[in-house]
Amino acid sequence: MKKKVVDPTYAKSKNYSRVINKIAEEGMCPFCPENFKYHKKPILKKRTDWFVTESTWPYKNTRHHFLVMTMKHMEELSELSAKDWESIHWLIRWATKEYKIRGGGLAMRFGDTSHTGATVCHLHMHLIVPELKKNGRAKIVNFPIG
């Protein structure tokens, strides 16, 4: 039996659903380096095993939608060490400075995908920066859990 690496149930667009279904058939984790062919956006910065890249399918109302992820296959938050967090922070600080980010959100899903709405099991964090309205306030970006 193939290991579950993605869950097409909660794919948020038709195009994304097509890609995720194809990956599900192959049964290879799309975020592990040896299969990193589906993600077309460049790696922007690396720090130890971690890197930051743009989301291929940014959420509505985002000015920036980055993914922070690791080359090691992990699925649980509890697997992260203080060293991992150092790398994550370093990348977030880098992105904040590089893209002049003044505020946003950091979000992640973990555990059984049928309970979280995650599409890719490989642990990844979303760094979400909303677009601004004409009055300078942020538009709301909804991060769905479930």
Partner 1 sequence: MTKEVVANIQYGGDYAEKLREAAESGECVFCQDTFQRDSKFFLMGYQGWIARKSEFPTKDVLGGIPDHHILIVPERHVGSYEDLANQDHVRVSTIVAYLRSRLGIRGGGLVHRLGHPLYSGATVLHVHFHFVVPRIIEIDGEPRAVFVNMPIG
Residue 145 lies near partner 1 (rule: CB under 8 A): yes
Residue 61 lies near partner 1 (rule: CB under 8 A): yes
Which 74-133 residues touch partner 1, going by CB under 8 A? 76-78, 80-83, 85-86, 88-89, 93, 96, 101-118, 128-130, 132
Residue with tokens 């192959």: 26
How far apart are alpha carbons 20 and 9 in whole angstroms? 9
Binding mask 2-21 for partner 1 (x = CB under 8 A): -------xx-----------
How far apart are alpha carbons 124 and 109 in whole angstroms? 8
Q: How far is CA 129 from CA 7, 11, 79, 104, in A?
A: 25, 21, 26, 5
How far apart are alpha carbons 127 and 100 in whole angstroms? 13
Residue 134 lies near partner 1 (rule: CB under 8 A): no
Chain residues binding partner 1 by CB under 8 A are 9-10, 61, 76-78, 80-83, 85-86, 88-89, 93, 96, 101-118, 128-130, 132, 136-146
